[in-house]
Every structure is written in C-alpha cells, then in structure tokens.
Amino acid sequence: MLERRVIALTGDLDVYTTPTACRVLDAIDGPAVIDLSAVRLLGAAALEELARVARRVGPRNVTLAGARPHVRRVLEIVRFDQLFVLE
C-alpha cells in the first residue's frame, strides 16, 4: 500500500496567499491528504491550484480533510467531490 503524504494548509487561501500554497502542493505526486481544517477562506486561485493537483495525480487520489462547513460547501458547489475524496 502506498503511503499518503499529509499536507496541512492554513488561513485564507486567496489570490495573495495561493502562490505560497502552490509550492507546497507541487510536492504532491501521488496519493495524499490535504488537511483544510485551519483554512478560513478558499478563493478561486486556490480552487484552481487544487484542481491542478487532481489533474496531475488523478481523480480521487487526494483526500481533502477537515474542511469547515463553509469551506466544504464551496468544495461541494464546484463539484470537487468528483475530483477528491471529501472527509
């Protein structure tokens, strides 16, 4: 069984902070868990970066975990449950 990398993101992920998150997310090259429990805001730039991760490693190979209800709602609206496992 492949070991899943765990990456925790924090704060507001918007157009200003997403470039920093990109450097972390670029390290994902296989099954992984992205911990969103400390994310307060998930902007369009962050959503695009997450979609890029899913395209690179394949659909549903990455789990988005711990999202707060309002962040999870955004993930559901943009149908990220099709690209990721939402926990």
Assigned CATH class of 5-86: alpha beta
Backbone phi and psi for residue 16, each to the nearest 5 degrees, phi listed first: -85, -35
Say how far apart CA 53 and CA 6 lie, in whole Å.
14
Contact yes or no for 67/77 (Cβ under 8 A):
no
Q: Which of 2-6, 23-27, 44-48, 55-59 has the weakest average pLDDT?
A: 2-6
pLDDT tens, residue by residue, 31-56: 999 999 999 999 999 999 999 999 99
Q: 1 or 84, which is more confident?
A: 84
Residue 2 has a pLDDT of: 58
Residue 17 has a pLDDT of: 87
